[in-house]
Structure 1
Amino acid sequence: MLIDWYYYLMLAVVDVEANFLVVKAYQYTSLTSVMLLDCWSIPCVIFLTWIFLKTKYGLWKFVGVAICVAGLVLVVFSDVHASDHEAGSNPVKGDMLVIAGSTLYAVSNVSEEFLVKKAERVELMAMLGTFGAVVSACQISILERNELKSIHWTAGAVLPFLGFALAMFLFYSTVPVILKISGSTMLNLSLLTSDMWAVLIRIFAYHQKVDWMYFIAFGAVAVGLVIYSGGSKIDANIAQVAEAKEGDEESVVNNLVQ
């Protein structure tokens, strides 16, 4: 192993608790609130990568981030406009759970980015999956045992669990690849599109009508991702133009002095 095992154990604890807190929040607050507050992970990721990974962000990267967040805010406004949300049983508690979970998501994603670049993807996935399963089993046996007993394990109840397990398997299999190529900030920005894809499910699976703002929001997020992914080249070109301009000014001054 390239990384000591206890680092993977700490990462597994953070990752499991992040998922637990956000999923738990759905019991208390609305989907709209979860969508909005989940954006808190983005500034957290930017701050953590800047401090610990020494990632440099140019102006156009911040522009891309702002456009992506604006697109998600449009989704929230469309939900409000369509009156498509419920307040929840305890919105304040649910919102606090989402904020805490989003912060832990940021810590987990930045840690995974560091580990996958320092070690390798296979080792990260093997250790995170192993320790994550142990931590989840311990937490279920301690905290959620009574809730599991209250579930009637029919086919209708098993299928959602299987679907969630498949989704998480695919998610955690592709995340290290994205982290190694694009970094944790790009990952969190891309995850904003998950709220947009929910629109397609509502339209084609449940035959529900959606507000027109959804499509503008999806376009905004897509444009923001393109700007962010190309931000490094844009900032580099601006820096080259500035350096060339400074060089021309210096040559003019030298010629005048001579």
Structure 2
Amino acid sequence: MMVDFGRIWSRNTLIGLCLGQFLSLLITSTAFTSSQLAKKGINAPTSQSFLNYVFLALLYGAILLLYTRKPLKAKWYYYVILGFVDVEANFLVVKAYQYTSLTSVMLLDCWAIPSVMLLTWLFLKTKYRLKKITGVLVCVAGLVLVVFSDVHAADRAGGTNPRKGDLLVIAAATLYAITNVTQEFLVKNADRVELMAMLGLFAAIISAIQISILERNELKSIHWSAEAALPFVGFSVAMFMFYSLVPILLKINGSTMLNLSLLTSDMWAVLIRIFAYHEKIDWMYFVAFGAVTIGLIIYSGGDKNEDQHPPNAADELRPAVKQDEEANSGNHGKGTAAGSSKTWAA
């Protein structure tokens, strides 16, 4: 079968590939800042994400209040659930590093990809044909090459409680899949600014409660010098940029493309170590990076007549949005979720 490169190298494909790799670089930067905090003995995973949620709530909340001035298109309690799931996903994956090895985290984190594909197939009616499934398999094969290369040979036996750590990673990957698919639906059927503002608000509240319960003593014991504060702020800024750009990629290419793109984050970290620290890296890494890149191109190319998001998929999944709009027009904000949300837009 002949390959239509004009279709593969479409505008959306190029944007998706470039944006996906920029997001992957942002994740890499959060890993480096997290490692710096760990070296300084700072173990506060929820606190690290707290500032990011505050930034989201302040910026996008201001836009929602001052410029958008519209009632919420989705019920507020959906955002509460999304915020809770997102906070716990970030918490669990950071916690897992205390118990299991980096290799296990890398392998098991791939669980997010089949989880996302299953959820989008069930709830967003996304169709995955052979070409897209092939792209996914090539991407995962590239990551497996990395994991089983000699670079990670010394890491395979790491971890104080591998079973517990592996379960934490699987749980985190499942939660990430839920948040990615939920965000994909909301950004396509509600509003990006609303999504970021409400996610930031409720996630910040949930994080603050969790910090007061789990990390209050840890924060009190930290000597807040510039060396400790800069990685903390750097992590938050990188996460803020990541969260702000993720909805764009979700709208263009979907949540599966997002998770596939993030597979290269560990490889970017290796390239940074090569140029910044002059480390020698196994050649398998470069083969793996190429495999993931090829897999992304295969996946994002798609078929001309492939209908990933059928017209009726959104209609089947938008009862809450429609109910809010109908209630708002009929009751003018009396006792409805959409009406109560006018306190945000007032």
TM-score, with structure 2 as normaliser? 0.65
1:175 to 212, 224, 246: 246
Over 3 Å off, 4+ runs:
79-82, 233-236
User: Could you tell which deviates more after superposition, 161-170 or 142-151?
Assistant: 142-151
Number of the residue aligned with 1:88: 159
Please, which of 43, 57, 70 is the counterpart of residue 141 of structure 2? Answer: 70
Q: Which residue identity does 2:168 align to in structure 1?
A: L
The 2-side partners of 1:158 and 1:53 are apart by: 41
Which segment drifts farther, 213-222 or 146-155?
A: 146-155
Query: Deviation of residue 234 (structure 1)?
Result: 8.4
Secondary structure of the residue aligned to 2:113 is: helix
Describe the shift of the 1:197–1:113 C-alpha distance in structure 2 as closer, same or farther (beyond 3 A). same
Residue 117 of structure 2 corresponds to 46
Write the letter of the residue equivalent to 1:168. Answer: M
Corresponding residue for 1:149?
220
In the alignment, structure 1 residue 26 sits paired with structure 2 residue 26: no
Backbone CA RMSD of aligned residues = 1.7
Task: State whether residues 32 and 79 of structure 1, in contact with CA within 8 Å, keep that contact through their aligned partners in structure 2.
Answer: no
Unaligned runs of 5+ in 1: 237-258
Larger-Rg structure: 1
Whether the aligned pair in 1 keeps the contact of 2:103 and 2:152 (CA below 8 Å) is no
Which letter does structure 2 place at the counterpart of 1:92?
A: R
State the Cα deviation string for residues 18-46 of structure 1 (Å, max 9, x = none): 11100111122121111111000000000
Question: CA offset at residue 79 of structure 1?
Answer: 4.7
Question: What secondary structure sits across from 1:205 in the alignment?
Answer: helix
Distance across 1 between alignment mates of 2:150 and 2:120 = 32
1:75-128 residue CA offsets vs partner (Å, 9 max, x unmatched): 101255653566022222111111000000000000000111111111111111
Q: Give the corresponding residue for 1:242.
A: none
Q: Which residue of 2 aligns with 1:219?
A: 290
Q: Distance in 2 between matches of 1:186 and 1:49?
A: 12
**Structure 2 residue aligned with 1:207:** 278
CA–CA separation in structure 1 for the residues paired with 2:245 and 2:195 = 12
Q: How many residues align?
A: 236
Secondary structure at the aligned position of 1:209 is classed as: coil
Partners of 1:147 and 1:19 lie apart in 2 by 18
CA offsets, 1:167-191, max 9 Å, x none?
1011101000001111111111111
Query: TM-score with structure 1 length normalisation?
Result: 0.87
Q: In the alignment, is residue 12 of structure 1 matched against residue 120 of structure 2? A: no
Q: Which amino acid aligns with 1:215?
A: F
